[in-house]
């Protein structure tokens, strides 16, 4: 007899009208920083031609620095088309700043009533909003013991993290 393994559920959870809802999709994001950029025009052209969704930022601390935020539902983009773009043309001439690289994804805390809005629409709207002229990037690193905390404690930690994000969001 073979023992059947339990199926792993990685879907994002929420609640709508008192009912549990879930969605097994998420938006992946990668932030990359570069130096030695004297003209962002060719970079914008390359991104547009490649059909890569994201935003290009200038670096307040480096007059020739830029930041690139790329969004994709399919994580394969980051090891395929994006990698190809970064290794050639306008991006290939830049100096990477790997110490600033971050990779993450959208997620739910469990109370959201509209998972599409939370996981896809809202992040894309924020990134594409030309009125938001600045962004603050900070890594969220949890200790491994986070996953062993009771669910209520995890929600408290995530709520605190969300509060920080909301404070920055209200500022623009």
Task: Give strand pairing partners of 22.
Answer: 13
Residue-wise pLDDT for 126-155, tens only, equals 999 988 877 776 666 666 777 788 888 888
- pLDDT tens per residue, range 24-75: 999 999 999 999 999 999 999 999 999 999 999 999 999 999 999 999 999 9
**Does any domain span residue 161?**
no
How far is residue 27's CA from residue 169's CA, in Å, rounded to a whole number? 19
Instruction: Report the alpha-carbon distance of residue 156 to residue 48 in Å, rounded.
Output: 40
Q: Is residue 164 part of a domain?
A: no
Return the sign of the alpha-carbon dihedral for residues 103, 123, 37, 136: negative
Residue 151 domain-assigned (yes or no)? no
For residue 167, being part of any structural domain is answered with no
Ordered alpha helix ranges (H), 60-150: 76-79, 81-86, 89-92, 115-116, 122-128
Please give the model's pTM, rounded to 2 decimal places: 0.79
Domain contains 149: no
Residue 48 within a domain: yes
1: confidence class by pLDDT, cuts 50, 70, 90 = low
What is the domain-level CATH number for residue 19? 3.30.70.1030
Number of domains in the chain: 1
Find the domain containing 44 and state its range.
12-139
Q: Give the separation between CA 8 and CA 16, rounded to whole angstroms.
A: 23
Q: Is residue 172 part of a domain?
A: no
Please indicate, yes or no, if residue 1 is contained in any of the structural domains. Answer: no
């Amino acid at each position: 007899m073979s023992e059947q393994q339990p199926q792993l559920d990685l879907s994002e959870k929420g609640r709508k009208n008192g009912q549990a809802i879930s969605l097994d999709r998420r938006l992946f994001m990668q932030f990359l920083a570069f130096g030695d950029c004297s003209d962002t025009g060719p970079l914008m052209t390359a991104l547009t031609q490649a059909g890569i969704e994201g935003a290009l930022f200038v670096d307040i601390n480096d007059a020739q620095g830029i930041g690139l935020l790329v969004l994709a539902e399919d994580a394969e983009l980051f090891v395929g088309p994006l990698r190809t773009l970064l290794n050639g043309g306008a991006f290939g001439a830049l100096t990477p700043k790997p110490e600033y690289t971050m990779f993450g994804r959208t997620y739910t805390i469990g109370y959201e009533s509209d998972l599409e809005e939370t996981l896809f629409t809202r992040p894309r709207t924020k990134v594409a909003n030309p009125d938001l002229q600045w962004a603050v990037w900070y890594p969220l690193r949890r200790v491994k013991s986070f996953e062993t905390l009771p669910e209520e404690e995890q929600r408290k930690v995530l709520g605190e993290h969300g509060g920080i994000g909301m404070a920055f969001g209200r500022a623009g």
